[in-house]
Amino acid sequence: MIIDSHVHLFYENSDPMSWFIGSARSGVAVLNKATGEKMDPYELYEQTAPQLFDKNGDKLVGWMDEAGIDRAIVLPIDLRLLTDAPSATDIDFPTIEEKNHTYFEATRRHKGRLFACAGMDPRRKNAAGLFKKGLEEWGMIGLKLHPTAGYYPHEPACYALYEVARQYNVPVIIHSGNEPAPLKCMYSQPKYIDAAAADFPEVTFIVAHCGHGWYEEVVDLATMKPNIYCDFCGWQVEYLTHPDYFFRALRYAMDFLGPWRVLFGTDGPAYTLLMSNKDWVEAIRNPASPSGIKFSKEEIDIFLGGAAARLYGWE
């Protein structure tokens, strides 16, 4: 079974325009790296948003079919507090409850293929209530936090959500590593997840993107804390730019943690602009490391799906 353990649904107004444009600005830099050409990020956004917007998950399931991905875990991200005054947090558009509900609807439409975590900024009023509602009423299977919106993963507001995760025995996925403006990476350094993992040893914390450039820090923390997992979604840029950087990081994580705490993901849909999900799965299934870094077939099978299946009880 191949499981995409980390993917999103973008759609009209799903996230603040400042973040869509910040992401487009990063995209321009990546796409035009060789020429240094300065394309208008608004233009890139206008060109690509229609291909990526996928409110009900139909496009995602099409890409999964093409890539042979059996299941995907869709993760709502809550970045609205970046742009809203704190007093206005519950009148944003769409509300965070509506956003989580949209994810639920996609899982209901694609039953057995899409599964959702709940996702909300822990500083919101009743964040824990909404998380519980997601678990109890909408069949959600975990929590996604995006601290780069302006909080650290060891703050008390987050602890209230980890307590719910502990009670319901579901994992917490925390964004880690680089991120476009206006989000701030000072909040996403892996070391800030360590205190949470220490205080909630029964909760599984999945450090998303294995911290990207901070991957050694993630592996170092995880070596001593078996409740820290990592995923390698969103590493398509590293793979395409410098394949051995990706294979070395993946090998490094597996050497220290074994394959069972290292999860595959796409972090789509944005990365499909660089590399199809099919090509990403192929790149991992047949790892062609220029310097001969090796993986066993068993390790690759566990990475692509076995580890996530065990974590979510799908074995």
Q: Which is nearer to Zn ion, 10 or 303 (CB)?
A: 10
Sheet holding 114-116, edge to edge: 3-7, 71-74, 114-116
Least separation in angstroms between residue 177's CB and Zn ion is 10
CB of 150 to Zn ion, least distance (A): 17
Angstrom distance (rounded) from CA 291 to CA 294: 9
Would strands 262-263 and 228-231 be described as parallel, antiparallel, or unpaired?
A: parallel
Count the helix, strand and coil residues of the chain and give each as a percent rounded to the nearest 5.
55, 10, 35
Size of the site for Zn ion (CB under 5 A): 1
Question: Quick check: bond before 243 cis, omega within 30?
Answer: no
Q: Does 78 bind Zn ion (CB under 5 A)?
A: no
Nearest CB to Zn ion, comparing residues 146 and 299: 146
Instruction: Candidates 267, 300, 303, 311: give the one binding Zn ion (CB under 5 A).
Output: 267
Specify the residue, 15 or 92, whose C-beta has the smaller distance to Zn ion.
Answer: 15
315: three-class secondary structure by DSSP: coil
Query: Would you say 236 or 299 has its CB closer to Zn ion?
Result: 236
If the CB atoms of residues 198 and 273 are measured against Zn ion, the closer one turns out to be 273
Nearest Cα to 210, choosing from 60, 5, 69? 5
Give the CB-nearest residue to Zn ion. 267
In this chain, which stretch among 122-130, 150-158, 267-275, 282-290 interacts with Zn ion, using CB under 5 A?
267-275
Please give the residues from 148 up to 207 whose contact with Zn ion meets the rule CB under 5 A: none
Piece of the chain touching Zn ion by CB under 5 A; list 184-192, 214-222, 242-250, 264-272:
264-272
Of the listed pieces 56-64, 80-88, 222-230, 265-273, which binds Zn ion according to CB under 5 A? 265-273
Q: Which residue, among 232, 285, 213, has the nearest Cα to 68 in the 3D structure?
A: 285
Q: Which stretch binds Zn ion (CB under 5 A): 100-108, 212-220, 261-269, 276-284?
A: 261-269
Of 237-256, binders to Zn ion (CB under 5 A) are none
CA-CA distance, 179 to 213, in Å (whole number)? 11
Which listed range, 88-96, 127-135, 178-186, 262-270, lies at the site for Zn ion (CB under 5 A)? 262-270
Stretch that binds Zn ion, among 166-174, 186-194, 266-274, 293-301 (CB under 5 A): 266-274
Between residue 2 and residue 41, which ones bind Zn ion under the rule CB under 5 A?
none
> Cα(79)–Cα(182) distance, rounded to whole angstroms?
10
Nearer to Zn ion, 54 or 267 (CB): 267
Closest to 86 in 3D by CA, of 116, 119, 123, 127: 123
CB of 296 to Zn ion, least distance (A): 28
Which is nearest to 6 in space by CA: 133, 159, 174? 174
Distance CA 31, CA 21 (A): 15
- Closer CB to Zn ion, 281 or 299, in the complex: 281
Axis-axis angle for helices 215-224, 243-257 (nearest 10): 10
Q: Whole-angstrom distance between the N-terminal and C-terminal Cα of the chain?
A: 9
CB nearer Zn ion, residue 78 or residue 267? 267
Identify which of residues 217 and 267 has a Cβ nearer to Zn ion in the complex. 267
For the CA atoms of 264, 265, 266, 268, the dihedral, rounded to the nearest 10 degrees, stands at 180
CA dihedral of residues 215, 218, 219, 224 (deg, nearest 10): 170
> How near is the Cβ of 305 to Zn ion at its closest, in Å?
18
Q: Note the residues at the interface with Zn ion (CB under 5 A).
A: 267
